[in-house]
Chain A
Amino acid sequence: MLKKDLSKGIYILSGPNKIKLISGEIISIAKKFDINEEIFIPEGKKIPLEVEISSVVEMDNEIKLSPLASRTIPDDWDKVVEYLVINKINTLIIFGEVDTGKTFFSTYITNKLLAKKIKPSVLDCDTGQSDIGPPSTLGLAIFKKPILFMTEVEPDKIYFVGSHSPSEHFLYYICGFTKLLNYGLKNSDIVIIDTPGWVLGDGARMLRNSEIEILSALETNFAVVLLQRNQEIEHLVKSLPQNKVIRLAVSKKASPTSVEERKKLREFVYKKYFSKIKKIEFRFEDISTDRAYFLTGQVLENKTKDSNILWIEQLSGFEGLYVISEKSLSEKEIEALKKVYSTKKIKNVVKDEFRNVIVGLLNKDNELICLGIVENLDFSNKKINIFYPQNIDLRDVKIIQFGSLRLTSEAEENGFVEPGVL
Protein backbone atom coordinates (compact mmCIF):
# COMPACT_ATOMS: atom_id res chain seq x y z
CA MET A 1 0.00 0.00 0.00
CA LEU A 2 1.19 3.54 -0.71
CA LYS A 3 1.75 6.06 2.06
CA LYS A 4 0.03 9.44 1.60
CA ASP A 5 -0.26 12.64 3.60
CA LEU A 6 -3.71 14.13 3.66
CA SER A 7 -4.23 17.73 4.68
CA LYS A 8 -7.39 18.79 6.53
CA GLY A 9 -10.35 18.76 4.15
CA ILE A 10 -12.95 16.63 2.41
CA TYR A 11 -12.10 13.85 -0.06
CA ILE A 12 -13.92 11.12 -1.89
CA LEU A 13 -12.43 7.65 -2.21
CA SER A 14 -13.68 5.13 -4.80
CA GLY A 15 -13.43 1.35 -4.76
CA PRO A 16 -11.97 -1.10 -5.24
CA ASN A 17 -9.51 0.28 -2.74
CA LYS A 18 -8.06 -0.23 0.69
CA ILE A 19 -7.19 2.50 3.19
CA LYS A 20 -5.43 2.40 6.56
CA LEU A 21 -5.09 5.34 8.95
CA ILE A 22 -1.52 5.61 10.24
CA SER A 23 -1.86 8.88 12.14
CA GLY A 24 -4.29 11.77 12.41
CA GLU A 25 -8.09 11.77 12.46
CA ILE A 26 -10.51 10.76 9.71
CA ILE A 27 -14.27 10.37 9.80
CA SER A 28 -16.38 8.74 7.11
CA ILE A 29 -20.18 8.43 7.18
CA ALA A 30 -20.04 9.40 10.88
CA LYS A 31 -17.60 6.56 11.62
CA LYS A 32 -14.28 7.55 13.14
CA PHE A 33 -11.37 5.49 11.77
CA ASP A 34 -9.23 3.67 14.33
CA ILE A 35 -5.45 3.92 13.99
CA ASN A 36 -4.21 0.97 11.86
CA GLU A 37 -7.78 -0.04 11.00
CA GLU A 38 -7.80 -1.32 7.42
CA ILE A 39 -10.90 -0.45 5.45
CA PHE A 40 -11.88 -2.06 2.16
CA ILE A 41 -14.03 -0.16 -0.33
CA PRO A 42 -15.69 -2.58 -2.80
CA GLU A 43 -15.93 -1.92 -6.53
CA GLY A 44 -18.76 0.43 -7.43
CA LYS A 45 -18.81 1.98 -3.95
CA LYS A 46 -17.29 5.24 -2.74
CA ILE A 47 -16.95 6.91 0.64
CA PRO A 48 -16.42 10.50 1.69
CA LEU A 49 -13.39 11.13 3.92
CA GLU A 50 -13.55 14.01 6.37
CA VAL A 51 -9.94 14.62 7.35
CA GLU A 52 -10.22 16.51 10.64
CA ILE A 53 -6.47 17.16 11.13
CA SER A 54 -3.48 16.49 8.86
CA SER A 55 -3.29 12.70 8.63
CA VAL A 56 -1.13 9.98 7.18
CA VAL A 57 -2.80 7.04 5.44
CA GLU A 58 -1.84 4.02 3.39
CA MET A 59 -3.96 3.13 0.40
CA ASP A 60 -3.98 0.81 -2.58
CA ASN A 61 -4.77 3.32 -5.29
CA GLU A 62 -4.37 7.05 -4.76
CA ILE A 63 -5.79 7.85 -8.23
CA LYS A 64 -9.17 6.92 -6.82
CA LEU A 65 -8.91 9.70 -4.23
CA SER A 66 -10.14 13.18 -5.13
CA PRO A 67 -10.58 16.32 -3.03
CA LEU A 68 -13.98 17.96 -2.69
CA ALA A 69 -14.80 21.61 -2.16
CA SER A 70 -17.44 20.94 0.47
CA ARG A 71 -19.02 18.27 2.62
CA THR A 72 -21.27 15.84 0.64
CA ILE A 73 -23.57 15.23 3.58
CA PRO A 74 -26.21 17.95 3.93
CA ASP A 75 -26.06 19.68 7.32
CA ASP A 76 -29.71 18.98 8.12
CA TRP A 77 -28.95 15.24 8.29
CA ASP A 78 -27.28 15.92 11.63
CA LYS A 79 -30.40 17.58 12.99
CA VAL A 80 -32.31 14.34 12.41
CA VAL A 81 -30.34 12.56 15.12
CA GLU A 82 -31.19 15.29 17.65
CA TYR A 83 -34.85 15.06 16.63
CA LEU A 84 -34.85 11.27 17.12
CA VAL A 85 -33.30 11.52 20.57
CA ILE A 86 -35.43 14.43 21.83
CA ASN A 87 -38.68 12.90 20.60
CA LYS A 88 -37.78 9.34 21.71
CA ILE A 89 -38.51 8.03 18.21
CA ASN A 90 -38.25 4.23 18.08
CA THR A 91 -38.92 3.73 14.36
CA LEU A 92 -37.58 5.78 11.48
CA ILE A 93 -38.80 4.85 8.02
CA ILE A 94 -36.96 6.27 5.01
CA PHE A 95 -38.68 6.87 1.70
CA GLY A 96 -37.01 8.01 -1.51
CA GLU A 97 -36.79 7.18 -5.19
CA VAL A 98 -34.01 4.88 -6.41
CA ASP A 99 -30.52 6.33 -6.13
CA THR A 100 -31.38 8.95 -3.53
CA GLY A 101 -28.93 7.48 -0.99
CA LYS A 102 -31.39 5.83 1.42
CA THR A 103 -28.83 3.19 2.45
CA PHE A 104 -26.09 5.79 2.80
CA PHE A 105 -28.40 7.88 4.98
CA SER A 106 -29.33 4.81 7.08
CA THR A 107 -25.63 4.09 7.61
CA TYR A 108 -24.93 7.67 8.62
CA ILE A 109 -27.80 7.79 11.12
CA THR A 110 -26.85 4.36 12.52
CA ASN A 111 -23.30 5.52 13.22
CA LYS A 112 -24.47 8.80 14.71
CA LEU A 113 -26.88 6.97 17.06
CA LEU A 114 -24.17 4.55 18.13
CA ALA A 115 -21.99 7.52 19.06
CA LYS A 116 -24.83 8.57 21.40
CA LYS A 117 -24.89 5.09 23.00
CA ILE A 118 -28.22 4.27 21.38
CA LYS A 119 -28.58 0.72 20.02
CA PRO A 120 -30.01 0.93 16.49
CA SER A 121 -31.18 -1.84 14.19
CA VAL A 122 -31.64 -1.52 10.45
CA LEU A 123 -34.45 -3.24 8.58
CA ASP A 124 -33.34 -3.53 4.95
CA CYS A 125 -36.47 -3.88 2.81
CA ASP A 126 -34.79 -3.52 -0.57
CA THR A 127 -35.26 -7.06 -1.88
CA GLY A 128 -33.62 -6.14 -5.18
CA GLN A 129 -30.47 -4.49 -3.84
CA SER A 130 -30.21 -6.10 -0.44
CA ASP A 131 -27.33 -5.05 1.78
CA ILE A 132 -28.39 -7.00 4.85
CA GLY A 133 -28.99 -10.58 3.74
CA PRO A 134 -29.19 -11.93 0.17
CA PRO A 135 -31.52 -10.55 -2.55
CA SER A 136 -35.16 -11.65 -2.40
CA THR A 137 -35.08 -11.36 1.41
CA LEU A 138 -35.76 -8.69 3.99
CA GLY A 139 -32.96 -8.46 6.54
CA LEU A 140 -32.62 -7.01 10.01
CA ALA A 141 -29.32 -6.33 11.77
CA ILE A 142 -28.76 -4.95 15.24
CA PHE A 143 -25.68 -2.73 15.35
CA LYS A 144 -23.09 -2.71 18.09
CA LYS A 145 -20.33 -0.80 16.34
CA PRO A 146 -20.15 1.76 13.53
CA ILE A 147 -19.82 0.50 9.95
CA LEU A 148 -19.18 1.98 6.51
CA PHE A 149 -21.20 -0.48 4.45
CA MET A 150 -24.35 -2.30 5.50
CA THR A 151 -23.00 -5.33 3.66
CA GLU A 152 -20.39 -5.73 6.42
CA VAL A 153 -22.91 -6.94 8.97
CA GLU A 154 -24.40 -10.37 9.46
CA PRO A 155 -28.19 -10.18 9.67
CA ASP A 156 -29.79 -11.11 12.97
CA LYS A 157 -32.91 -12.21 11.12
CA ILE A 158 -33.94 -12.62 7.49
CA TYR A 159 -37.28 -13.23 5.85
CA PHE A 160 -37.73 -14.78 2.41
CA VAL A 161 -40.05 -12.68 0.24
CA GLY A 162 -39.45 -14.92 -2.79
CA SER A 163 -38.67 -12.29 -5.40
CA HIS A 164 -36.43 -9.31 -6.17
CA SER A 165 -39.47 -7.09 -6.25
CA PRO A 166 -42.39 -6.83 -3.85
CA SER A 167 -44.64 -6.69 -6.94
CA GLU A 168 -46.97 -9.74 -6.93
CA HIS A 169 -45.50 -10.55 -3.48
CA PHE A 170 -47.19 -7.83 -1.46
CA LEU A 171 -48.61 -10.08 1.23
CA TYR A 172 -45.38 -11.88 2.02
CA TYR A 173 -43.45 -8.60 1.89
CA ILE A 174 -45.81 -7.11 4.47
CA CYS A 175 -45.67 -10.25 6.64
CA GLY A 176 -41.87 -10.10 6.61
CA PHE A 177 -41.85 -6.37 7.26
CA THR A 178 -44.06 -6.82 10.34
CA LYS A 179 -42.16 -9.82 11.64
CA LEU A 180 -38.71 -8.23 11.38
CA LEU A 181 -39.89 -4.84 12.62
CA ASN A 182 -41.38 -6.48 15.68
CA TYR A 183 -38.09 -8.27 16.33
CA GLY A 184 -36.14 -5.03 15.91
CA LEU A 185 -38.43 -3.16 18.30
CA LYS A 186 -37.94 -5.81 20.97
CA ASN A 187 -34.18 -6.04 20.60
CA SER A 188 -32.96 -2.50 19.85
CA ASP A 189 -33.67 1.10 20.84
CA ILE A 190 -34.67 2.27 17.38
CA VAL A 191 -35.41 0.55 14.07
CA ILE A 192 -34.26 2.37 10.93
CA ILE A 193 -36.21 1.12 7.92
CA ASP A 194 -34.52 1.35 4.53
CA THR A 195 -37.29 0.90 1.95
CA PRO A 196 -37.16 0.07 -1.80
CA GLY A 197 -37.13 2.99 -4.26
CA TRP A 198 -40.57 2.07 -5.60
CA VAL A 199 -42.55 5.19 -4.70
CA LEU A 200 -44.80 5.95 -7.68
CA GLY A 201 -47.98 4.29 -8.94
CA ASP A 202 -50.66 2.09 -7.37
CA GLY A 203 -48.44 -0.70 -6.04
CA ALA A 204 -45.89 1.65 -4.53
CA ARG A 205 -48.48 3.89 -2.88
CA MET A 206 -50.24 0.83 -1.47
CA LEU A 207 -47.04 -0.66 -0.04
CA ARG A 208 -45.62 2.52 1.46
CA ASN A 209 -49.04 3.31 2.92
CA SER A 210 -49.32 -0.21 4.38
CA GLU A 211 -45.89 0.13 5.97
CA ILE A 212 -47.00 3.29 7.74
CA GLU A 213 -50.24 1.61 8.83
CA ILE A 214 -48.21 -1.21 10.39
CA LEU A 215 -46.06 1.32 12.24
CA SER A 216 -49.28 2.74 13.70
CA ALA A 217 -50.78 -0.68 14.37
CA LEU A 218 -47.70 -1.71 16.36
CA GLU A 219 -48.01 1.55 18.29
CA THR A 220 -44.50 2.68 17.44
CA ASN A 221 -43.40 6.24 17.99
CA PHE A 222 -42.37 6.68 14.37
CA ALA A 223 -41.09 9.35 12.03
CA VAL A 224 -40.83 9.36 8.25
CA VAL A 225 -37.85 10.69 6.34
CA LEU A 226 -38.46 11.83 2.78
CA LEU A 227 -35.23 11.92 0.78
CA GLN A 228 -36.14 13.93 -2.27
CA ARG A 229 -34.69 16.18 -4.93
CA ASN A 230 -37.83 18.27 -5.32
CA GLN A 231 -41.22 17.25 -3.95
CA GLU A 232 -41.54 13.97 -5.82
CA ILE A 233 -42.72 11.78 -2.92
CA GLU A 234 -44.90 14.19 -0.95
CA HIS A 235 -47.94 12.11 -1.96
CA LEU A 236 -46.79 9.37 0.44
CA VAL A 237 -47.27 11.49 3.56
CA LYS A 238 -50.32 13.63 2.72
CA SER A 239 -52.45 12.07 5.44
CA LEU A 240 -49.78 12.02 8.14
CA PRO A 241 -49.39 14.57 10.94
CA GLN A 242 -46.67 16.82 9.56
CA ASN A 243 -44.66 16.70 12.78
CA LYS A 244 -43.90 13.08 11.92
CA VAL A 245 -42.35 13.97 8.56
CA ILE A 246 -38.72 14.99 8.04
CA ARG A 247 -37.87 16.34 4.61
CA LEU A 248 -34.24 16.05 3.56
CA ALA A 249 -32.25 16.91 0.49
CA VAL A 250 -30.50 14.13 -1.39
CA SER A 251 -26.72 14.07 -0.95
CA LYS A 252 -24.96 15.74 -3.89
CA LYS A 253 -22.92 12.62 -4.47
CA ALA A 254 -25.88 10.23 -4.90
CA SER A 255 -25.37 8.80 -8.37
CA PRO A 256 -27.64 6.73 -10.63
CA THR A 257 -27.22 2.97 -11.05
CA SER A 258 -28.49 1.42 -14.29
CA VAL A 259 -30.84 -1.57 -14.41
CA GLU A 260 -27.99 -3.69 -15.79
CA GLU A 261 -25.64 -2.58 -12.99
CA ARG A 262 -28.32 -3.43 -10.45
CA LYS A 263 -28.65 -6.91 -11.91
CA LYS A 264 -24.87 -7.37 -11.80
CA LEU A 265 -24.70 -6.17 -8.19
CA ARG A 266 -27.51 -8.56 -7.29
CA GLU A 267 -25.77 -11.46 -8.98
CA PHE A 268 -22.54 -10.53 -7.21
CA VAL A 269 -24.31 -10.87 -3.86
CA TYR A 270 -25.94 -14.17 -4.90
CA LYS A 271 -22.59 -15.50 -6.10
CA LYS A 272 -21.03 -14.55 -2.78
CA TYR A 273 -23.89 -16.17 -0.88
CA PHE A 274 -23.73 -19.37 -2.93
CA SER A 275 -19.93 -19.27 -3.49
CA LYS A 276 -19.39 -22.64 -1.80
CA ILE A 277 -22.36 -24.91 -2.14
CA LYS A 278 -23.28 -28.39 -1.07
CA LYS A 279 -26.19 -30.56 -2.03
CA ILE A 280 -28.71 -31.99 0.37
CA GLU A 281 -31.59 -34.33 -0.26
CA PHE A 282 -34.80 -34.22 1.71
CA ARG A 283 -37.27 -37.06 1.75
CA PHE A 284 -40.77 -35.84 0.88
CA GLU A 285 -42.08 -37.40 4.10
CA ASP A 286 -39.61 -35.46 6.26
CA ILE A 287 -40.52 -31.96 5.11
CA SER A 288 -43.49 -29.69 4.57
CA THR A 289 -43.79 -27.27 1.68
CA ASP A 290 -44.96 -23.69 1.82
CA ARG A 291 -46.17 -21.27 -0.89
CA ALA A 292 -46.78 -24.14 -3.31
CA TYR A 293 -49.48 -26.74 -4.01
CA PHE A 294 -46.84 -29.52 -4.09
CA LEU A 295 -47.11 -31.86 -1.07
CA THR A 296 -50.17 -30.08 0.30
CA GLY A 297 -52.77 -32.57 -0.92
CA GLN A 298 -53.50 -36.25 -0.41
CA VAL A 299 -50.96 -38.35 -2.34
CA LEU A 300 -52.67 -40.80 -4.72
CA GLU A 301 -51.45 -43.88 -6.53
CA ASN A 302 -51.11 -43.61 -10.31
CA LYS A 303 -53.99 -45.77 -11.51
CA THR A 304 -53.54 -44.87 -15.17
CA LYS A 305 -50.26 -46.76 -15.84
CA ASP A 306 -49.26 -43.70 -17.89
CA SER A 307 -45.44 -43.45 -17.55
CA ASN A 308 -45.56 -39.70 -18.27
CA ILE A 309 -47.29 -39.20 -14.91
CA LEU A 310 -44.87 -38.97 -11.98
CA TRP A 311 -46.93 -37.73 -9.05
CA ILE A 312 -50.59 -37.25 -8.19
CA GLU A 313 -52.19 -35.42 -5.29
CA GLN A 314 -55.84 -34.77 -4.57
CA LEU A 315 -56.25 -31.11 -3.62
CA SER A 316 -59.31 -29.77 -1.82
CA GLY A 317 -62.59 -28.88 -3.51
CA PHE A 318 -62.39 -26.98 -6.78
CA GLU A 319 -58.58 -27.04 -6.73
CA GLY A 320 -58.88 -30.49 -8.30
CA LEU A 321 -56.15 -33.01 -9.03
CA TYR A 322 -52.49 -31.97 -8.91
CA VAL A 323 -50.43 -33.94 -11.41
CA ILE A 324 -46.68 -33.72 -12.00
CA SER A 325 -45.59 -35.19 -15.31
CA GLU A 326 -42.39 -35.64 -17.28
CA LYS A 327 -43.82 -33.54 -20.12
CA SER A 328 -47.10 -31.63 -20.48
CA LEU A 329 -50.19 -33.81 -20.33
CA SER A 330 -52.01 -34.23 -23.62
CA GLU A 331 -55.77 -33.59 -23.92
CA LYS A 332 -56.23 -37.37 -24.04
CA GLU A 333 -54.23 -37.89 -20.84
CA ILE A 334 -56.17 -35.13 -19.09
CA GLU A 335 -59.51 -36.66 -20.09
CA ALA A 336 -58.34 -40.09 -18.92
CA LEU A 337 -57.28 -38.67 -15.55
CA LYS A 338 -60.59 -36.83 -15.12
CA LYS A 339 -62.44 -40.07 -15.73
CA VAL A 340 -60.27 -42.30 -13.53
CA TYR A 341 -60.22 -39.89 -10.60
CA SER A 342 -63.75 -38.45 -11.12
CA THR A 343 -62.51 -34.86 -11.09
CA LYS A 344 -63.32 -31.79 -13.17
CA LYS A 345 -60.01 -30.00 -12.85
CA ILE A 346 -56.46 -31.15 -13.49
CA LYS A 347 -53.59 -28.93 -12.40
CA ASN A 348 -50.64 -30.14 -14.42
CA VAL A 349 -47.04 -29.26 -13.54
CA VAL A 350 -44.12 -30.38 -15.66
CA LYS A 351 -41.29 -31.78 -13.50
CA ASP A 352 -38.73 -29.34 -14.92
CA GLU A 353 -40.72 -26.38 -13.58
CA PHE A 354 -39.09 -27.11 -10.22
CA ARG A 355 -35.55 -26.94 -11.56
CA ASN A 356 -33.41 -23.99 -10.34
CA VAL A 357 -36.21 -22.49 -8.23
CA ILE A 358 -34.90 -20.49 -5.30
CA VAL A 359 -36.32 -21.69 -1.98
CA GLY A 360 -36.20 -20.75 1.66
CA LEU A 361 -35.23 -23.50 4.10
CA LEU A 362 -37.03 -22.97 7.41
CA ASN A 363 -37.12 -24.60 10.82
CA LYS A 364 -40.27 -25.83 12.54
CA ASP A 365 -40.91 -22.35 13.94
CA ASN A 366 -41.04 -20.87 10.43
CA GLU A 367 -37.70 -19.10 10.84
CA LEU A 368 -35.56 -18.90 7.72
CA ILE A 369 -32.28 -20.79 8.07
CA CYS A 370 -30.93 -20.09 4.58
CA LEU A 371 -31.80 -19.94 0.90
CA GLY A 372 -31.37 -22.87 -1.45
CA ILE A 373 -31.68 -23.74 -5.14
CA VAL A 374 -33.70 -26.76 -6.24
CA GLU A 375 -31.63 -29.13 -8.36
CA ASN A 376 -34.38 -31.63 -9.11
CA LEU A 377 -37.14 -33.82 -7.74
CA ASP A 378 -36.64 -37.58 -7.66
CA PHE A 379 -40.09 -39.15 -7.72
CA SER A 380 -39.00 -42.75 -7.67
CA ASN A 381 -37.20 -42.23 -4.36
CA LYS A 382 -39.53 -39.43 -3.22
CA LYS A 383 -36.72 -36.94 -2.62
CA ILE A 384 -35.94 -33.33 -3.44
CA ASN A 385 -32.33 -32.28 -4.07
CA ILE A 386 -31.31 -28.75 -3.08
CA PHE A 387 -28.07 -26.77 -3.28
CA TYR A 388 -27.31 -24.61 -0.24
CA PRO A 389 -24.40 -22.56 1.18
CA GLN A 390 -22.08 -25.20 2.63
CA ASN A 391 -21.26 -23.61 5.98
CA ILE A 392 -24.87 -23.72 7.18
CA ASP A 393 -26.23 -26.36 9.52
CA LEU A 394 -29.44 -27.75 8.04
CA ARG A 395 -30.35 -30.25 10.74
CA ASP A 396 -33.38 -28.20 11.80
CA VAL A 397 -34.89 -27.73 8.33
CA LYS A 398 -38.53 -28.76 8.35
CA ILE A 399 -40.10 -26.51 5.74
CA ILE A 400 -39.25 -25.71 2.12
CA GLN A 401 -40.67 -22.36 1.09
CA PHE A 402 -40.88 -21.85 -2.67
CA GLY A 403 -39.90 -18.57 -4.33
CA SER A 404 -40.62 -17.13 -7.78
CA LEU A 405 -37.09 -16.87 -9.14
CA ARG A 406 -34.70 -19.26 -10.78
CA LEU A 407 -30.96 -19.26 -10.15
CA THR A 408 -28.43 -21.54 -11.79
CA SER A 409 -26.09 -23.47 -9.50
CA GLU A 410 -23.54 -20.77 -10.49
CA ALA A 411 -25.96 -18.25 -8.89
CA GLU A 412 -26.83 -16.54 -12.16
CA GLU A 413 -30.36 -15.27 -12.61
CA ASN A 414 -32.27 -17.75 -14.73
CA GLY A 415 -35.83 -16.43 -15.04
CA PHE A 416 -39.02 -16.83 -13.07
CA VAL A 417 -41.61 -19.31 -11.95
CA GLU A 418 -45.10 -18.30 -12.88
CA PRO A 419 -46.99 -17.70 -9.62
CA GLY A 420 -49.54 -20.40 -8.93
CA VAL A 421 -47.79 -23.06 -11.00
CA LEU A 422 -45.95 -25.22 -8.48
Chain B
Amino acid sequence: MTYKETEFPQILEILINYAKKGFPLDEIVKEANKLYKNVPIYVGIVGMCVENLVREEEKENFKKGDVIIVVDKDKVYQGTVDKTDKNGNFSLKNVKIIENKKVVKIKFRSKKLFKIEKNILQKLWPSLCFKK
Protein backbone atom coordinates (compact mmCIF):
# COMPACT_ATOMS: atom_id res chain seq x y z
CA MET B 1 0.00 0.00 0.00
CA THR B 2 1.25 3.43 -0.74
CA TYR B 3 -0.98 5.49 1.50
CA LYS B 4 0.26 6.70 4.85
CA GLU B 5 -1.50 5.20 7.87
CA THR B 6 -0.22 8.11 9.94
CA GLU B 7 0.50 11.74 9.17
CA PHE B 8 3.53 11.79 11.45
CA PRO B 9 6.08 11.86 8.60
CA GLN B 10 4.59 15.21 7.55
CA ILE B 11 5.84 16.68 10.86
CA LEU B 12 9.39 15.54 10.06
CA GLU B 13 9.17 17.35 6.72
CA ILE B 14 8.02 20.53 8.44
CA LEU B 15 10.91 20.33 10.92
CA ILE B 16 13.36 19.82 8.06
CA ASN B 17 11.98 22.95 6.39
CA TYR B 18 12.47 24.95 9.60
CA ALA B 19 16.03 23.62 9.88
CA LYS B 20 16.70 24.67 6.27
CA LYS B 21 15.76 28.22 7.27
CA GLY B 22 18.42 28.03 9.97
CA PHE B 23 16.00 28.04 12.90
CA PRO B 24 17.06 26.32 16.13
CA LEU B 25 14.73 23.34 16.50
CA ASP B 26 14.60 22.75 20.24
CA GLU B 27 11.70 25.15 21.04
CA ILE B 28 9.84 24.11 17.90
CA VAL B 29 10.17 20.40 18.74
CA LYS B 30 9.04 21.06 22.32
CA GLU B 31 5.93 22.89 21.06
CA ALA B 32 5.25 20.15 18.51
CA ASN B 33 5.46 17.53 21.24
CA LYS B 34 3.15 19.58 23.47
CA LEU B 35 0.62 19.83 20.63
CA TYR B 36 0.81 16.07 20.07
CA LYS B 37 0.29 15.35 23.77
CA ASN B 38 -2.80 17.59 23.69
CA VAL B 39 -4.42 16.05 20.61
CA PRO B 40 -2.64 12.72 20.07
CA ILE B 41 -5.30 11.26 17.81
CA TYR B 42 -5.28 14.19 15.40
CA VAL B 43 -1.75 14.01 14.07
CA GLY B 44 -2.76 15.84 10.87
CA ILE B 45 -3.96 18.80 12.94
CA VAL B 46 -0.73 18.69 14.97
CA GLY B 47 1.16 18.90 11.67
CA MET B 48 -0.95 21.82 10.48
CA CYS B 49 -0.26 23.66 13.77
CA VAL B 50 3.47 22.92 13.64
CA GLU B 51 3.58 24.27 10.09
CA ASN B 52 2.12 27.54 11.36
CA LEU B 53 4.13 27.64 14.56
CA VAL B 54 6.75 30.11 13.38
CA ARG B 55 5.58 33.24 11.62
CA GLU B 56 7.32 36.43 10.55
CA GLU B 57 6.45 39.27 12.95
CA GLU B 58 7.01 43.03 13.22
CA LYS B 59 9.29 43.95 16.13
CA GLU B 60 6.64 46.38 17.47
CA ASN B 61 4.41 43.42 18.21
CA PHE B 62 6.89 41.63 20.49
CA LYS B 63 6.02 41.61 24.14
CA LYS B 64 7.73 40.34 27.26
CA GLY B 65 7.73 36.54 27.47
CA ASP B 66 7.47 35.89 23.71
CA VAL B 67 9.91 33.31 22.40
CA ILE B 68 11.40 34.77 19.24
CA ILE B 69 13.93 33.89 16.58
CA VAL B 70 16.13 36.58 15.10
CA VAL B 71 17.86 35.78 11.84
CA ASP B 72 20.90 37.95 11.33
CA LYS B 73 23.56 37.77 8.60
CA ASP B 74 25.59 34.84 9.88
CA LYS B 75 23.91 34.30 13.25
CA VAL B 76 20.52 33.14 14.44
CA TYR B 77 19.34 34.07 17.95
CA GLN B 78 16.58 32.36 19.84
CA GLY B 79 15.44 33.76 23.16
CA THR B 80 12.66 35.07 25.35
CA VAL B 81 11.80 38.76 25.15
CA ASP B 82 12.78 40.34 28.45
CA LYS B 83 12.42 44.07 27.82
CA THR B 84 11.12 46.24 25.00
CA ASP B 85 11.32 50.02 24.56
CA LYS B 86 9.35 52.66 22.64
CA ASN B 87 11.78 52.52 19.71
CA GLY B 88 11.09 48.85 19.12
CA ASN B 89 14.36 47.66 20.59
CA PHE B 90 14.25 44.63 22.82
CA SER B 91 16.49 42.50 24.94
CA LEU B 92 16.37 38.75 25.20
CA LYS B 93 17.08 36.26 27.95
CA ASN B 94 17.84 32.52 27.80
CA VAL B 95 19.46 33.17 24.45
CA LYS B 96 20.78 30.48 22.13
CA ILE B 97 22.96 31.57 19.27
CA ILE B 98 23.63 29.56 16.17
CA GLU B 99 26.58 30.89 14.25
CA ASN B 100 27.49 29.73 10.77
CA LYS B 101 31.20 29.48 10.12
CA LYS B 102 33.00 27.67 7.33
CA VAL B 103 35.82 26.34 9.49
CA VAL B 104 36.30 26.28 13.25
CA LYS B 105 39.37 25.01 15.07
CA ILE B 106 38.55 23.33 18.39
CA LYS B 107 41.17 23.11 21.10
CA PHE B 108 40.56 20.00 23.12
CA ARG B 109 40.40 20.54 26.82
CA SER B 110 37.86 18.54 28.74
CA LYS B 111 34.98 18.98 26.35
CA LYS B 112 32.25 16.38 25.95
CA LEU B 113 32.34 15.16 22.37
CA PHE B 114 29.49 13.58 20.42
CA LYS B 115 29.23 12.30 16.90
CA ILE B 116 26.18 11.92 14.67
CA GLU B 117 26.30 8.37 13.33
CA LYS B 118 25.24 8.71 9.70
CA ASN B 119 25.55 5.00 9.11
CA ILE B 120 23.30 3.90 11.95
CA LEU B 121 20.84 1.77 9.91
CA GLN B 122 23.71 -0.25 8.46
CA LYS B 123 25.07 -0.77 11.99
CA LEU B 124 21.84 -1.65 13.73
CA TRP B 125 19.78 -3.27 10.98
CA PRO B 126 21.95 -4.15 7.95
CA SER B 127 19.24 -6.27 6.32
CA LEU B 128 17.32 -3.05 5.64
CA CYS B 129 20.17 -1.48 3.68
CA PHE B 130 19.90 -2.02 -0.06
CA LYS B 131 22.16 -1.55 -3.06
CA LYS B 132 21.34 1.74 -4.78
8 Å CB contact of B127 from A163, A259, A291: A259
Stretch at the interface among B3-11, B34-42, B57-65: B3-11
- Considering only residues 377-422 of chain A, those with a C-beta below 8 Å from chain B are 402-404, 406, 412-415, 417-422
Interface mask (B1-21 → A, CB under 8 Å = 1, otherwise 0): 111111001000000000000
- Once A260-B127, A263-B127, A413-B130 are accepted as A-B contacts, the answer to whether A418 and B1 lie under 8 Å apart by CB is no
Judge whether A291 and B130 touch: CB under 8 Å: no
Judge whether B5 and A171 touch: CB under 8 Å: yes
B88 at the A/B interface (Cβ < 8 Å)?
no
Give the contact-size bracket for chain A.
Answer: 20 to 34
Q: Which residues of B contact A (CB under 8 A)?
A: 1-6, 9, 125-127, 130-131
Judge whether A170 and B5 touch: CB under 8 Å: yes
A353 to chain B: closest CB distance in Å?
10
Q: List 21 A-B contacts (CB under 8 A).
A: A161-B1, A162-B1, A168-B4, A168-B6, A169-B1, A170-B5, A171-B1, A171-B5, A172-B1, A260-B127, A262-B127, A291-B2, A292-B2, A402-B1, A413-B130, A414-B131, A415-B130, A419-B3, A419-B5, A420-B2, A420-B3
Give Cα distance in the complex from A169 to B1, angstroms: 7
Give Cα distance in the complex from A262 to B127, angstroms: 9
A292 CB contacts on chain B under 8 angstroms:
2
* Besides A419-B5, A420-B3, 19 new A-B residue pairs in contact (Cβ under 8 A), listed by A number: A161-B1, A168-B5, A168-B6, A170-B5, A171-B5, A259-B127, A260-B127, A262-B127, A291-B2, A292-B2, A402-B2, A403-B1, A404-B1, A413-B130, A414-B131, A417-B2, A420-B2, A420-B4, A421-B2
Give Cα distance in the complex from A172 to B127, angstroms: 24
Give Cα distance in the complex from A420 to B5, angstroms: 9
